[in-house]
Chain A
């Protein structure tokens, strides 16, 4: 402390200079409009540029939140779109309540674990029973393409048995002639971009580029785009045709999925279970 005091008093000229100089500059800037405007402008410019730079990083950090909100909005819009398209325009009746007409609603979910390299692939999403997710619900990809079915549900999470699984079978049709088939994956093919359409009746003609959509018979809504035929008319031993399908879904980059809630799922299940297997 004493040394510091000696140091300051020895170089008192310099310290006094600093004090008086600061006061002088302060007076100058405070009391002269031109100098003040220049100072303010330049500091504003510096501060502004700094904030701009900072904002770039901030925006990047907020991307997750933005994505979430966009996905939620998308889900809302999709359900609205569906409610509009499900209005039966053929009948000459006024549909007053369009919402009750809507069988499917979409729920956006984030993929928090994904696998594509295994024989039977399962992914995990961040929505669970608390969000109304039940086992067996269909899952589709954000732009186009199918993902799979909900398999197990916990309170906040759920697992999806993806299309890349030996037990997954999705009922699909060819868009141009509504010919039924089932979409499966595997069977010696482990390319995540390809699946097979099987059990297509023999008389149906498939061509390269035919669009495959969901049939709407299972928990998927009708008309969800699945893929395009890349290798048609592969004959099998039975009375059915097979074809190779290029999937629209890119499982390797999947970050968000939509869980499709089918309102009448339980009703349909109950009704159908009344039919005895050997009837």
Chain B
């Protein structure tokens, strides 16, 4: 059996198992709380695994291993931002949101504000962030299938995107939050298992001596000791001062973005209490942290055992470094059959990874559309639960279809920057609004609306006029030249602008509601009046 066939078979087993779980979950999905929040009946450990499954995208599994394999230390630098970010979620956001919200991020923001403008802004921001992130994953799926399954024709890649899109629609429309959560749990277990297996084999080959692995990676990379320190990808000597400021800008967006990502925030509603929300973030931090330590070994292992030239020859960004490493280490230890099997496993895990993340993103955006925009803005709250959930299902279908269409159109484009952009918008627009809402008595409608639109627009506009869109060989439009903003990541400017806009907006408006602030403050810290789990 060829590796392509074996990968496909393993992946189909995953699909069959998760579809089975989704159908089973759909029988227990009766009301809005089930659909949006899985009945709030997941345990802290389950939700911790699902957080890992939701967060560890293909960009972080294949992407970071690839950056480490090609540029060494800088990939590690990237993963650290992704991890430290979880402390913001743990200390300032998770429990307080669980206690004061219901289904979406906007529930907390609109709590003491005029609901329609705030929900509109939060809905727009949620859907923008989720679609950008979604698009990056869809295009990645098309590229990956070409590399791992030997599908190279544009039609074959387009069909893969359609397939991934349809599966994600089924998970969300049929299984709601319950189905999506289980897909993420299964994926997290598979991903950790696969990454741990390859890591053990690699470390075993080097006698569990990290130093000799690093030494060989540096020697084979052709970059020598430079490979083991920062500076081959971010803030290179050639980029000068702008490159180094860009590095800080990226770091800020990563560390402050996570606690503003809508698909992450809605995970806190799936547990019965704030204490379980805390526990789930603790588990999430443990899983994600260990995972990034594994990718460190995977990346350096790929550099040492596969070699930079071979990796770059297959994919310029190094996205296939982890699968190539699986093949190389399997060949070296178990012979070519073992190599084929390991490659097949890692390829199947990579697809499972993409599916779990896109399902989470589709759920977050369709929940926000149905609950925030349809139910509260268009219908002014005059809508039945059943109708709202139906709208959520329809919008999951529409968002899925849009993502499929855009994913096919963007085939072959370099859209990796969209993930960093999603983090930058989350940090610039959502995080200021959330933190001010929870902690600042004087905050108000004008403040929330200005923080969200101010952060969102400044991040978007700066990226449009940055080198990632025009003016350089790696840009989206290499032949156009309108890049007057020198940084690839807008965070260092747009995050302060988001906070400033929120502050000024609040100060310039006289309106504010101290009684409602007392309510959100007491509720968020004590759990009085918090939404309860559903008992079936």
Please say whether chains A and B are actual partners in one complex.
no
